[in-house]
Structure 1
Amino acid sequence: MRRLLLALALLLAPASAQAYGFFTHEAIARIAMLNVRPETARAVRAMLRGAPPLLQTPECKVATPEAASVWPDCVRGLGDRFSYSASWHYQNVDVCKPFDPKAACKDGNCVSAQIERQVKLLQNRTVPAREKAMALAFLIHFVGDLHAPPHGGDRGDRGGNDVKASYGPVTAKWLNLHSIWDSPLAERAVTTPPSLFRVYSADERASLASGSVEDWSRQSWEASRDTAYALALGEACGPEPTGPVTVTPQAIEKMVPVQRLQIERAGLRLARMLDEAFDPGKAFVPEKRPAYRGG
């Protein structure tokens, strides 16, 4: 009953507040900040405290890691100013074909490429403070996005947005396969005991935060194929549904542990990325390039 009431409460929230639930992005940021090095935590908080006058987005808060975790979604509502970043939040790698992230990442316009780019911007000693603050907010957000399975793989249906669905007995106009993973399922994963908010052991961090960004992309793609689509449709690459699908309570029970694992991974991998981005030993000054002469 508690879980049903939670789902019903989510239905009362505006659809715009559901993007990989603000609650979930904040949870990932919180896990990360509990597991970064103390000097990293101080540097991150100091940079974000100074960010509001630099970024000038009073509608979209950014002064804390939790606020920064949802800032990139918020600024997408500011019109042309940040419209260039829309394709950075996902990569639609076809779950019914061999894993090929490059095909879904033209000119670096996908979430995995942008994670690596933001780290480099933070490490680059010549990047101005405004761009570093923006890179930090994007990094915190994009690590979360990459670990949301529908952001990492789909069937040509905009990450499941075109698959109308119900969450058990709960239905609503805004519910689809993507929004279910972004909102009620993610909220349930975070609130299911035991708590995700703790300092993880060195062995846990080594295991859960290991691998490259491409490895993480593959895991998200596999979770999309083997869990999000397979459990909702009965067969990941079967016929296209002709109407709304029902994500059954039995399917939800199997999805929750996968979602929890992805959130844990995201938090600890974000901690690793932040430690690398703020490691003084990895800061660099880029080599000068020949002057551009046009043509």
Structure 2
Amino acid sequence: MNRILPALLALLAATVAAPVSAYWEYGHETVATIGYRNARPETRAAIDRILRHAALLETPTCPARTIEQASVWADCIKTLGPRFSYSSNWHYQNVNVCKPFDLKSACRDGNCVSAQIERDMKLLKDKTLPMRERVQALAFLIHFMGDLHQPLHAGDRDDLGGNKVSAAYGIYTAERLNLHTIWDGYLAERAISTPPSLVRRYSPEEKAAIQAGSVEDWSRESWQVAHDATYATALGGDACGQVPPRAKLDQATIEKLVPIARLEVERGGLRLARLLDEAFG
């Protein structure tokens, strides 16, 4: 045990996400799988048909042949250098949680996650477009619906989505660990791994309760979660209070946050199902 703990801490320090990273593979893949399972059969068939053409993307090191692979394609292509650098700002919309909700300012020229979700929907609905464009729009849509429901991609305090907030996660106190990394990875993985499984067929009543609203409504909701849960718990109850040298999420706080993080993944998946049904309806 004495040897394992230092190794874990070293791994944490080495794998801290960069500012443009989002929902590690587990989070994105789970959102995608929920969406796929809860879409109509004809929608699933349409998704499969389009993803059969994933080779048209010409990104062999970033495959998108399945919905799970497609869910992380938009992060994988960051490794391809300037080829896709234009999309780096599309993964988030940093609306200040300590000011009135203002999506318009955060989405100038469409360079934000919610604007790109709406753009991808338009592209998917247009059957006259080249298949390569539709494959890319589908992969982006699947990924961005995960991003939108990671609260620190919807709201922040001008701190790169919490990347500038040094934080401790339970006993893990790696020097480079920050609030964004915690919500992107460690908390998301704990939430998704907590039973019962989030990947299932949801009832019509469950879907209706979560799927209602617009992309802007969902943006505002995720922004509110960033204020009420993400920052408030890290900063001693005041989301807009002074940021300490090291925010601390103790075990009791983590346990309170797990249901919130689970709900965000659930929302992302079921809302993705709705958009996919609309795109291919």
**Fold conserved between structures, TM > 0.5:** yes
Partner of 1:78: 80
| Matching residue within 192, 209, 212 for 1:210 | 212
Q: 1:262 deviation in Å?
A: 0.6
1:174-189, aligned counterparts within 5 Å?
Answer: 174-189=176-191
Partner of 1:26: 29
Q: 1:246 deviation in Å?
A: 1.1
Cα distance 1:272–1:13, how it changes in 2: closer, same or farther (>3 A)? farther
Q: 1:12 deviation in Å?
A: 7.8
Q: Please give the alpha-carbon distance, in whole angstroms, between the structure 2 residues aligned to 1:26 and 1:224.
A: 22
Q: Please give the alpha-carbon distance, in whole angstroms, between the structure 1 residues aligned to 2:52 and 2:257.
A: 37
* 2:55 is equivalent to residue 59 of structure 1: no
Cα distance 1:158–1:277, how it changes in 2: closer, same or farther (>3 A)? same
Q: Please give the alpha-carbon distance, in whole angstroms, between the structure 2 residues aligned to 1:38 and 1:154.
A: 38
Q: 1:16 deviation in Å?
A: 5.5
* TM-score (normalizing by structure 1): 0.89
Structure 2 stretches of 5 or more lacking a match?
Answer: none
User: Which letter does structure 2 place at the counterpart of 1:275?
Assistant: D
User: Which letter does structure 2 place at the counterpart of 1:268?
Assistant: L
Tell me the C-alpha RMSD between the 2 structures.
Answer: 1.9
SS at match of 2:95: coil
Partner of 1:165: 167
**1:62-108 C-alpha deviation (Å, 9 max, x unpaired):** 10000000000010111110000000000000000011111111101
SS at match of 1:159: coil
Q: Please give the alpha-carbon distance, in whole angstroms, between the structure 2 residues aligned to 1:264 and 1:248.
A: 24
User: Which letter does structure 2 place at the counterpart of 1:107?
Assistant: D
Q: Please give the alpha-carbon distance, in whole angstroms, between the structure 2 residues aligned to 1:119 and 1:249.
A: 40
Partner of 1:197: 199
**1:125-153 C-alpha deviation (Å, 9 max, x unpaired):** 22111010000000000000000000000
| Matching residue within 51, 60, 75 for 1:48 | 51
* 2:23 is equivalent to residue 11 of structure 1: no
Cα distance 1:213–1:77, how it changes in 2: closer, same or farther (>3 A)? same
Q: Please give the alpha-carbon distance, in whole angstroms, between the structure 1 residues aligned to 2:53 and 2:249.
A: 44
1:88-237, aligned counterparts within 5 Å?
Answer: 88-234=90-236, 235-237=238-240
Q: Could you tell me the percent identity over the aligned residues?
A: 60
Q: 1:121 deviation in Å?
A: 0.3
**1:156-202 C-alpha deviation (Å, 9 max, x unpaired):** 10000000111011022441000100001000110111111110000
Deviates more, 1:228-237 or 1:169-178: 169-178
Partner of 1:291: none
* TM-score (normalizing by structure 2): 0.93
Q: 1:251 deviation in Å?
A: 1.4
Note if contact 2:231-2:239 (Cα within 8 Å) is conserved in structure 1. Answer: yes
Runs of 4+ in 1 over 2 A off after TM superposition: 7-19
Cα distance 1:43–1:174, how it changes in 2: closer, same or farther (>3 A)? farther
Q: Please give the alpha-carbon distance, in whole angstroms, between the structure 2 residues aligned to 1:254 and 1:264.
A: 17
| Matching residue within 38, 41, 62 for 1:38 | 41
Partner of 1:248: 250
Q: Please give the alpha-carbon distance, in whole angstroms, between the structure 1 residues aligned to 2:17 and 2:99.
A: 31
User: Which letter does structure 2 place at the counterpart of 1:14?
Assistant: T
Structure number with greater Rg is 1
Q: Please give the alpha-carbon distance, in whole angstroms, between the structure 1 residues aligned to 2:13 and 2:167.
A: 17
Q: 1:19 deviation in Å?
A: 3.5
Q: Please give the alpha-carbon distance, in whole angstroms, between the structure 2 residues aligned to 1:260 and 1:91.
A: 21
Q: For this pair of structures, how many residues does the alignment match? A: 274
Q: Please give the alpha-carbon distance, in whole angstroms, between the structure 2 residues aligned to 1:125 and 1:248.
A: 51
Q: Please give the alpha-carbon distance, in whole angstroms, between the structure 2 residues aligned to 1:148 and 1:202.
A: 24
Q: Please give the alpha-carbon distance, in whole angstroms, between the structure 1 residues aligned to 2:219 and 2:101.
A: 9
